[in-house]
A and B are shown apart, each in its own frame.
Chain A
Amino acid sequence: MARIVGIDLGTTNSLVAYMNGKTPTVIAGPEGRTMVPSVVAYTPTGILVGDAAKKQLVHNPQHTVYSVKRFMGKGLADVTPELQYFPFNLTEQGGVIRLRIGDKALTPPEISAMILKDLKARAEAFFGEEIRKAVVTVPAYFNDSQRQATKDAGKIAGLDVVRIVNEPTAASLAYGLQKRTQGTIAVYDLGGGTFDISILKLKGGIFEVLATNGNTHLGGDDFDRRLVDVIMREIKTRHGISLDGRPELQQDIRVRAEQAKCRLSKESQATVNVPLPDGKGEYRRTFTRAEFETLVTDLVEKTLAPCRQAIKDAGLSATDVDEIVLVGGSTRIPLVQQRVQALFGKPPHCELNPAEVVALGAAVQADILSGGIQDMLLLDVTPLTLGIETMGGVMSSLIHRNTTIPTSAKEMFTTFVDGQTSVDIHILQGERELAKDNRSLARFQLKIPPLPAGVPRVEVTFMIDANGILSVTARDVRTGEAQSIEVKPSYGLSDQEVERMIRDSFVFAQQDIQERQRIEAMNEAESMLKATEKALARADGLATPEELAAIRKAMADLKSTMAGIDHRPIRQAIEALNKASYGLAEKLMNSTLQDALKDKKLSDVT
Chain B
Amino acid sequence: METSRKELPLARSMCWHCQSDIGGEYFCGQCVKVQPLSKDIDYFTCLGLPRKLNIDTVSLETKFYELSRAFHPDFYEGKSEMERAVSLANSAILNQAYRTLKDPIQRIEYLLRLEAGAAKDIPGKAPADLFETILEIQEHLEEFQAAKSQNDAASAARAADLLRNARKTLDAKRAALESRLAELFQIWDRLIEKGSHAQAHSAQKEQTLKEMRGLLSERTYVTNMLENIAEALG
The interface of chain A, by Cβ under 8 A from chain B, is 1, 162-163, 203-204, 206, 208, 365, 368-371, 374, 377-379, 403-408, 463, 465-466
Contact = CB atoms under 8 A, between A and B. Distances in A.
Given A407-B96, A463-B92, A465-B88, A377 B68 contact: yes
Contacts of B35: none
A1 B74 contact: no
B74 A369 contact: yes
B99 A404 contact: yes
Contacts of A163: 74, 77
A379 B61 CA distance: 13
A537 to B, nearest CB: 60
B196 to A, nearest CB: 35
Contacts of B98: 404
Contact of A406 (B65, B73, B75, B78): B73
Contacts of A374: 75
B96 A408 contact: yes
23 contacts: A163-B77, A206-B65, A206-B68, A206-B69, A365-B74, A369-B74, A370-B77, A371-B77, A371-B78, A377-B72, A377-B74, A403-B96, A403-B99, A404-B95, A404-B98, A404-B99, A405-B95, A406-B88, A408-B89, A408-B92, A408-B96, A463-B92, A465-B88
A162 B77 contact: yes
A403 B99 CA distance: 8
Interface string B126-151: 00000000000000000000000000
Interface in B69-102: 69, 72-75, 77-78, 88-89, 91-92, 95-96, 98-99
Contacts of B91: 406, 466
Contacts, number: 57
Contacts of B77: 1, 162-163, 369-371
Contact of A463 (B68, B69, B78, B88): B88
A46 to B, nearest CB: 36
Nearest to B71: A406
Contacts of A404: 95, 98-99
A407 B68 contact: no
Contacts of A208: 65
Contacts of B99: 403-404
B78 A407 contact: no
B63 to A, nearest CB: 12
Nearest to A201: B61
Contacts of A379: 68, 72, 95
Given A162-B77, A371-B78, A378-B74, 8 more contacts: A163-B74, A206-B65, A365-B74, A370-B78, A404-B99, A407-B92, A465-B88, A466-B91
A406 B91 CA distance: 6
B78 A403 contact: no
A580 to B, nearest CB: 56
Majority DSSP secondary structure for residues of B touching A? helix
Contact of B92 (A206, A371, A378, A406): A406
A465 B96 contact: no
A404 B100 CA distance: 11
Nearest to A369: B77
B83 to A, nearest CB: 13
B65 A204 contact: yes
Contacts of B78: 1, 370-371
A403 B95 contact: yes
Contacts of B69: 206, 377
A208 B69 CA distance: 12
A83 to B, nearest CB: 33
B73 A465 contact: yes
Contacts of A406: 73, 88, 91-92, 95
User: Which 5 residue pairs of A and B lie closest in terms of their CB atoms, listed nearest first?
Assistant: A404-B95, A369-B77, A408-B92, A406-B92, A406-B91
B159 to A, nearest CB: 24
A163 B72 CA distance: 13
Contacts of A403: 95-96, 99
Interface in B169-218: none
Contact of A407 (B72, B74, B95): B95
Contacts of A365: 74
Contacts of B73: 406, 465-466
Contacts of A206: 65, 68-69
Nearest to A4: B77
Contacts of A162: 77
A405 B96 CA distance: 9
Contacts of B92: 406-408, 463
A492 to B, nearest CB: 22
A368 B96 CA distance: 24
B42 to A, nearest CB: 15
B74 A466 contact: yes
A1 B79 CA distance: 10
Contacts of A369: 74, 77
A3 to B, nearest CB: 12
A169 B115 CA distance: 39
Residue from the set A368, A378, A408 with the largest chain B CB neighbour count within 10 Å? A408
A374 B69 CA distance: 9
Contacts of B65: 203-204, 206, 208
Nearest to B69: A377
Nearest to A467: B73
Residue from the set B92, B95, B96, B99 with the largest chain A CB neighbour count within 10 Å? B92
A57 to B, nearest CB: 39
Contacts of A463: 88, 92
Contacts of A377: 68-69, 72, 74-75
A538 B92 CA distance: 73
Nearest to A315: B103
Contacts of B89: 408
Nearest to B88: A406
A369 B75 CA distance: 6
Contacts of A368: 74
A28 B98 CA distance: 43
A463 B88 CA distance: 9
Contacts of B95: 379, 403-407
A467 to B, nearest CB: 9
Contacts of A408: 89, 92, 96
Nearest to A471: B88
Interface string B4-47: 00000000000000000000000000000000000000000000
A132 B92 CA distance: 28
A365 B92 CA distance: 20
A184 to B, nearest CB: 14
Nearest to B74: A368
A458 to B, nearest CB: 17
B168 to A, nearest CB: 21
B85 to A, nearest CB: 10
A206 B92 CA distance: 17
Nearest to A408: B92
Contacts of B88: 406, 463, 465-466
Contacts of A204: 65
A463 to B, nearest CB: 6
A370 B79 CA distance: 11
A369 B76 CA distance: 8
A411 B78 CA distance: 32
B120 to A, nearest CB: 10
Contacts of A1: 77-78
